[in-house]
Amino acid sequence: EWEIISGIVVETPEMLKVVALATGSKCIGKNQLSSSGDTINDCHAEVLVRRSLLHYLESEMVSSQPAIFSKTCANKFKLKENVKFHLYINQTPCGDASIFPIDTTDKSYQRLMARKRATITGKRNSPCDISDGGQPKRISSGGDTQRTGAKVVESSPIQDTNGEGQSYHVHNVLRTKPGRGQRTSSLSCSDKIAKWNVIGLQGALLSLLIEEPIYL
């Protein structure tokens, strides 16, 4: 019911095609990082689907009839006219994109919180939020904020207040993904998607072969 799935669709004048699909919600802690590069650090769906997209881009480059690329005079690849990429995620990405106000008087919100609480306690009482420890926590009347498990980076002078209601989180800060046990070193999906919107999806290696960045 709560599994996260992400996909990337390529749009051309002739077609809409799913070219990458992934699911996942795990991320390893700092103590599990590999210096030899043989471990995938971040297995969140949004990150895995981008890795899958890179495989698709590489397959297009070696194709005799690529659907999305043309060659330039500099012998590099460039997206054809009117080729677009769209990202789908069935939940908000971890990090700042998952922090938004909630009207706790809304009936659908109250039903959702009751279902979550019942999953943990086996009881059905008044609406409540779920704290980081997995136990029900009473919410303030009228307003709350959607929580994210992503933590503000340790080097930031601004940290979450963990206050009541909508003052629980601070905004517009870099966050690292939540992990079981030791903190992770991987930036939140919100931060990674923001980075892709600036430098592109193609990464450093393919930037040597592609003339212009590829954006969502």
Q: Which residues are catalytic?
A: 46
Q: Is 74 exposed, middle or buried (0-12, 13-18, 19+ CB in 10 A)?
A: exposed
Residues 92, 102: Cα–Cα separation, whole Å:
14
User: At 121, which helix (H) or strand (E)?
Assistant: helix 107-121
Alpha-carbon torsion, ordered 3, 133, 157, 179, to 10 deg: -40
Residues 7, 86: Cα–Cα separation, whole Å:
8
**What is the structure's pLDDT at 122?**
58
Cα 99 to the center of its chain, rounded Å: 13
pLDDT digits (tens, 9 = 90+) for 147-160: 888 889 988 998 98
% of the chain with per-residue pLDDT over 70: 88
**What is the structure's pLDDT at 57?**
97
Token pair 């109250």: residue? 110
CB 139 within 8 A of CB 112: no
Of residues 154 and 192, which shows the higher confidence score? 192
CB 30 within 8 A of CB 184: yes
